[in-house]
Structure 1
């Protein structure tokens, strides 16, 4: 308004200033009384000081103003000038409704396109995520003992791969527990067979002696053998339980006369040679060592029993030199092996499996080999300190 007043005083001559006129959007006059009525009614006394802007808005507390009136006095070299202006809301035009309709149509079109784009992206994303999940579900249902040993397939997402690995590990743990139970049952049935046979044969012998009324010393010897066999079954059960459920628990060790133990086990297995043209050669040297007795009996007993049981003719050689034990026996030919299947019917492979496992647990070195029709077994005992 000040700029308008200065321009007005420079452009409009003194004679032309008497009448009020509109200049640059403002009503300008040299007398306040010459301004339009809206200014005079809004400010009856007019602006008093120069360059002091006065404003009046026609509005209520909760509505926009209908009009705003501005008024100001500006002193120039040729006298004061009075300026006023009234601002009102723009009147409705015929252009605005059409523009508004076009704007609404454009907004609606853009909204539909955006919603469609988001829907398509969401569907593609859901499909991209659901396909690996469906693949994971199908893989989980197809798991078996063979697939548990295979690597986990790639399901495109780290989280799904981790979940698949957790599922495989969990099922592997369950399968290992089942395998341990099955191995325990096989081992127990295989190892307890010998002491049970001893008990049954000695019971029959005791019955015959009772009928003939033999000497009491013979009956006591039979009872002692039955007692040892029952204790052997107990120790075997405890060892197999330790082997399957508590592999980290150490077994109690004791000093053992190794040659005496070998000869005792060989004597217990002689019933396996009954009716066979088989001879035995047992060569030992004095040697004492500290070992867990029950696993030692199981390992050495298994090896001697396997040699006796699967030898049909010839000589079984058991040789002991300090902590090294060698067992050699003629084995069945491939034709006999294929026709009789001794590993399935007699538990030959199971005994060797148990021997290998126990040897690894207690730190013994065990090797088995076959040259032609001769089977060799070497055991190196690791004495406990």
Structure 2
């Protein structure tokens, strides 16, 4: 299962890492500035001594712990071992001995070169040994103790920062979660109401954008539904006129027989009228709201399939198509929405009949499961596709697409197996 990233966790971890890096960085920077300040102060003291002390060759002087010499040869041996004779004036050279990276230096050595006002050379040095820096009373503080205090101080600072960060995140996250809950609860009823106040201006702006987008989509859907409803209602009248006149012509043809071409034309008009009538009923049904749909009731699938197969048999006139209907009468009655079931079965059977020019149509019913398979044996594929039931006419394709929408709305199982010369549709109305 894919773990989705959390914005809250990402922000929290990022701020923790940033604060930790800043704390560590500023700690090292503070130590560096502190050490650099001490070195500059020491350098200033050594410069002052070099300007005031009277020193002769071979007679170095010691003042407040500093050794002042006029020649490099007069500098203490410990200094000469660790440093090369300095030639640049005022550049403090330092050497230290440490047992560990975070421990205090044990011994420190300093040397600097100056010239007095008379232009004479002065070498000022200082040696700070550990035993000379130890306090007279008490035990010296161990480096590990110092590290523990530093770590404890750092952990305390990070804990305080984490606490305040958590409080800030809680104050920010609560309005965001409120916005999420409000957006999830939106429906046609509360969408017309103004969004609540989410404390922050950015969240209020986002809520307004969400509401305006949903209102626009809702208005578009209503316009589409109204158009489908109006168009379907308006089409009912001309379709009824066409079908009634076709029926009238059929009765008149009993007295004055029509020619073969006239009879064929009349049959085509009758088939088109029936198809348009079924599509109109489908559009009308889809244009209704979900709360206007009929409640589930008992439907005999075996009886309905047999009836529809006989009613749509006119689509197989002048075709070499065998129809096999296999139903299970013992488990034929199911509890489902009757109108939707009728529309789906009508469109699927019509598509199978319409798009099979030569071959076989097999309809099987097992409980709530209906399987429609049409196999085409026609070798000429100039007027059909390689799939027998696959729509090749835009009118019947619309009927099949509308059926899929109805199936999706009711959550029924719908499977399509498309193979060359064979098209299988499976619908489970449970």
TM range (shorter): 0.3 to 0.5
TM-score by length of 1: 0.44
